[in-house]
């Protein structure tokens, strides 16, 4: 039971394998001027970020896939739907409907990483489900042009084997916390793989869920993480004028510490609590203002 074994056991139930058939354009047929198309089996990996089946993965894993098939660590398979995506940062959120709550990936930090520290990758490498590889952080803040269409800034470089199918899966530290989302390999080079730092991935996931929840049940809150790993709650950055949040009495600078019975530690948690809520629902909030704890009622509305 080495630290790496414990790390893998900790995250395994929250890592999923993704498969799907997609159609790719081929080069123009010689002399005909007509583009053909070919069907290929795509594969990738994802991580559960909410017990109800919300999964974070790479956009390129699910882009163009009609039926997204997700396999859990226990072998059960589900069809997923696309919730939100951001092609520019190559991240997407998909949703399955598991019969019981899913374990959620433990989340670490990427702002304190050091070249040389041990990392572990888990993923669907070449279709071999839940493949584990390990290595070190080779470098930080790499800018990588993968194709004409895809450019990444500020990636983690690792020599842990990252193969096709690892995309969207977690890069872990020895504590079994996700510190990155594996994203790309350098074609023709061994021992050079890349991952999106987890802080950036969470920022994108938070923005995607914020936009998504505003459409499903209007709230009008722009929330942000508090500085410091031990900080509790999320900071209200802005309140939309005339919104349910404004009517509830929320103000910029307030700190939201709980939504209903659920404590919130980061902005992603806050927006997760609003998922699947409907207009007309009343949500109790616990906030801190001027050192005093208060309770407010947020009445969700239609936009």
Annotated catalytic sites, by residue? 60, 90, 167
- Torsion angle defined by CA atoms of residues 233, 238, 240 and 246, in that order, rounded to the nearest 10 degrees: 50
Tell me whether residue 291 is exposed, middle or buried, using C-beta atoms within 10 angstroms of its C-beta: 0 to 12, 13 to 18, 19 or more.
Answer: exposed
Nearest Cα to Cα of residue 162 among 201, 197, 135: 135
DSSP state of 14: G
If you write DSSP's letter for every residue of 227-276 in order, what string do you get?
SSTT--SEEEEEE-TTSHHHHHT--TT-EEEEETTEE--SHHHHHHHHTT
Other beta carbons within 10 Å of 86: 15
Nearest Cα to Cα of residue 14 among 67, 65, 56: 56
Nearest Cα to Cα of residue 163 among 43, 30, 294: 43
Structural contact between residues 196 and 140, judged by C-beta atoms closer than 8 angstroms: no
Structural contact between residues 19 and 43, judged by C-beta atoms closer than 8 angstroms: yes
Nearest Cα to Cα of residue 83 among 93, 69, 91: 93
Tokens coding 150: 């895809």
Tell me whether residue 267 is exposed, middle or buried, using C-beta atoms within 10 angstroms of its C-beta: 0 to 12, 13 to 18, 19 or more.
Answer: buried
d(CA 196, CA 202): 10
């Amino acid at each position: 039971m080495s630290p790496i074994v414990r790390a893998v056991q900790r995250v395994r139930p929250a890592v999923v394998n993704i498969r799907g058939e997609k159609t790719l354009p081929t080069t123009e047929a010689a002399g005909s001027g007509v583009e053909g198309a070919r069907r290929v089996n795509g594969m990738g990996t994802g991580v559960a970020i909410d017990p109800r089946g919300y999964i974070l993965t790479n956009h390129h894993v699910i882009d163009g896939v009609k039926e997204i098939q997700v396999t859990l660590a226990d072998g059960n398979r589900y069809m997923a739907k696309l919730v939100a995506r951001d092609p520019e940062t190559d991240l997407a959120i998909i949703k399955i409907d598991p019969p019981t709550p899913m374990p959620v990936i433990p989340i670490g930090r990427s702002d304190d990483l050091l070249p040389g520290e041990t990392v572990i990758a888990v993923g669907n490498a070449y279709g071999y489900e839940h493949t584990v590889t390990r290595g070190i952080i080779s470098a930080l803040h790499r800018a990588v042009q993968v194709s004409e269409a895809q450019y990444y800034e500020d990636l983690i470089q690792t020599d842990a084997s990252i193969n096709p199918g690892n995309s969207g899966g977690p890069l872990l530290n020895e504590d079994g916390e996700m510190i990155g989302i594996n994203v790309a390999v350098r074609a023709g080079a061994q021992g050079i793989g890349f991952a999106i730092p987890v802080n950036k991935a969470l920022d994108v996931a938070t923005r995607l869920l914020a936009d998504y929840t505003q459409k499903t049940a209007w709230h009008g809150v722009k929330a942000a993480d508090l500085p410091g790993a031990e900080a509790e709650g999320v900071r209200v950055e802005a309140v939309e004028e005339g919104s349910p949040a404004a009517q509830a009495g929320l103000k910029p600078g307030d700190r939201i510490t709980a939504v209903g019975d659920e404590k919130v530690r980061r902005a992603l948690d806050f927006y997760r609590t609003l998922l699947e809520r409907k207009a007309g629902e009343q949500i109790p909030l616990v906030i801190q203002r001027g050192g005093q704890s208060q309770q407010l009622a947020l009445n969700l509305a239609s936009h």
